[in-house]
Structure 1
């Protein structure tokens, strides 16, 4: 797993080597017991737990979640939709952003600097369901002018 995570860089001077090790370990296993975490990073339990709590309080750790197996849930069809808007003024962007957050099939939404405005990662059970989501939900989002779809044939690497 080493080398699989992006390098954690010091943003504002508040992260030292122990903090970075804690974050790297938690990114791989968020359920690791504090005693085991402390051992892996080279601290005793109490200082490790204090650092862990501070990293949460300071916003370096936003939360913990279960990583679900999409294939087991019959959700292994992935499409990427490029979305071009008719208007990119701030109020239009805010309207689009609020509306796209409500579509459960949209796993990710990124504003893009390029030939289109947004890139959406959409997960459904099959192409038929994707077509419904695209036609009934995504195409009807505020300010959508056009969409273009790219279908993933295989997932080579994905981080939960």
Structure 2
């Protein structure tokens, strides 16, 4: 990874639909060089895919909730079973295996408190092995960066 690769990544994070012509102009390389570098970044797994940033509020999902989940066992089979189950919960926007007091940190995107209660009581608590759940409501998002820190 050199300065041009980082420049390409920064530009693509901000402008994911940029053409190779636009990308080449932005990072001061030829179009051919940009295409080659992007392909190399994709093949190496640095660029793992492309996605649109979705405004959840525009879809009626006005509540962002952070949920910690503690399992009754941290055995590999228990973690695998939880991860399989949580992948099926459409309200889960993110799921992270954690260190510290809880095993997982989830971010849910839900319509309102009633929707949160439904997901909590009818979905999350019914996943086998879930011992404890704690939720915190995000009042607003202060920083959400599509850009890389470097």
Aligned to 1:125: 111
Per-residue deviation, 1:159:
4.0
Deviations 1:41-84 (A, max 9, x none): 11011111111111111111111111111111100101111111
* Counterpart-to-counterpart distance in 2, 1:36 and 1:24: 13
Q: Which one of the candidate residues 71, 74, 99 is aligned to 1:85?
A: 71
**1:133, CA displacement in angstroms?**
0.5
1:158, distance to aligned residue in structure 2 (A): 2.1
> TM-score, length-normalised on structure 1?
0.87
Q: C-alpha separation between the residues in 2 aligned to 1:71 and 1:122?
A: 13
Measure, in 1, the Cα distance between the counterparts of 2:70 and 2:86: 14
Q: How many residues align?
A: 146
* Moved >4 Å (runs of 4+): none
- Alignment of structure 1 residues 97-112 onto 2, 5 Å: 97-112=83-98
Aligned to 2:24: 38
Q: Which has the higher contact order (CA 8 A, sep 6+)?
A: 2
Under a length normalisation based on structure 2, what TM-score does the superposition of the two structures give? 0.93
Q: Which residue of 2 aligns with 1:48?
A: 34
**Richer in helix (by share):** 2
